[in-house]
Amino acid sequence: MTADLYPSAKDLLATLVGFDTTSRGSNLALIEWVEAYLDSLGVPHRRVPNADGSKSNLLATIGPADPGGVVLSGHTDVVPVDGQPWSTDPWTVVERDGRLYGRGTCDMKGFLALALAAAPELSKTARRPVHLAFSFDEEIGCLGAPLMIDVIRRELPPPALVVVGEPTDMVAVNGHKGIATFKVTVTGRESHSSQTQQGVSAIMAAARLMNSLTDLSERLERQADPASPFTPRGPTLTIGLVEGGTAHNIIARHCEFVFDLRCPPGFSTDQVLKDFRAEVAAMDAALKARAPEAGVVLEKRTDVPPFAPEPDGAAEAFARRLAGDNGPPRVVAFAAEAGQFQQAGFSTVICGPGSIAQAHQPDEYVEVSQMQRGASFMRRLIEWAAEA
């Protein structure tokens, strides 16, 4: 009788959650621990670091270096807990009422723990390769995965498919929206607020641009295709951060804001923002006419491609078989690294424990039952990998 992987996965989850891998910091302590764990199993691995070496992806291959394997992909970073009203220590897994609480339990260290729980048996029995692909900085724009995907594409025997373990309630998801993030920086000229003829208000100029984006957001909502499988149906645009000004009686020299645009497959972010870019250029010229040092800069910070459903996708069929999923096709509104894998030519699916409704929340949790379903998924994966 085969062993239940859940108890091991639960212990591994507690260890992984204990590492504060908030994206603003380093993930190297967690990476070093996973490396030691893999070393104990005789599993070869390598780092794919960022430019300054402060963070790293981890890539490992269990089983033979043959084509046709599966990639289990997940990110190691988590979102901040700052200002959230947690009732437990976010860096300690607490089990209560059938749930495992802690930052990252759902998004997405639960999947990483399940993959690592399967590694000991895979290291002894796998006749097909299983690749572990653990990334950094997913939460701030899927910045780390492209470096690792490039290594997989260039240096590994071609994998047959990729499973990205974002939380989907352990059912297969075959599409997600893309996300592009932008920063708008407006520079004006400071003066006393009574002397409006001397100053140029960066905040008031930024407000006009934000109003245009609000109008665009509402227009996109009205024009959404009623047949779209996504919720919300069409592209969405939100302004998430605004900073500027010094005091109420100083005309503001500086204001900046950040917005994100999430588009389903088939949309071009450049086309959606064409009119806004023209407005930015016109305002930049108008502000410079009043003060040479003034102006507007629109900067694209990140651009994560959407993930499009694959007709008869091999990865989706694989995940459905292992998860026991016979449900309808599903897509999600959040962005993930699946689109990056697909863009590199890999058949890809999203399937992992937990619900996105619990991600990024105070008292984040994953249901024990979800981890148990994930353990069954990994058990079937072990069986698949052991086949000739």
Catalytic residue among 35, 77, 121, 367: 77
Whole-number Cα distances in Å, 352 to 60, 107, 128, 170, 176? 19, 9, 21, 5, 14
Question: H helices of the chain, where?
Answer: 6-17, 28-41, 110-125, 145-155, 202-222, 269-272, 274-290, 314-323, 338-343, 368-386
In eight-state DSSP terms, residue 114 is H
Q: Which two tokens stand for residue 60?
A: 């490992």
Residue type, 275: D
Confirm if 59 and 4 have CB atoms less than 8 A apart: no
Nearest to 43 by CA among 98, 108, 123, 128: 123
User: Rounded to 10 degrees, what is the CA torsion of 336, 339, 342, 343?
Assistant: -140
Q: Residue 77 catalytic?
A: yes
CA dist 38 and 60 (Å) reads 8
Cα–Cα distance measured from residue 226 to residue 341, given in angstroms and rounded to the nearest whole number:
28
Within 10 Å of residue 97's Cβ, how many Cβ atoms?
A: 8
Q: Are 349 and 170 within 8 A, CB to CB?
A: no
* Angle of CA points 302, 308, 314, to nearest 5°: 125
Residue of 351, 287, 304, 388 whose CA lies nearest to 74: 351
What DSSP state is assigned to residue 246?
S
CB 260 within 8 A of CB 240: yes
The yes-or-no answer on residue 138 being catalytic is: yes
Q: Which of 107, 121, 138, 139 is catalytic?
A: 138
**Full strand arrangement of the beta sheet holding 236-244:** 236-244, 254-263, 178-187, 295-304
Q: Exposure string (b/e) for 364-386, b if CB count within 10 Å is 16 or more?
A: bbbbbebbbbbbbbbbebbebbe
Best CA proximity match to 334, nearest among 258, 256, 264: 264
Catalytic positions, please?
Answer: 77, 138
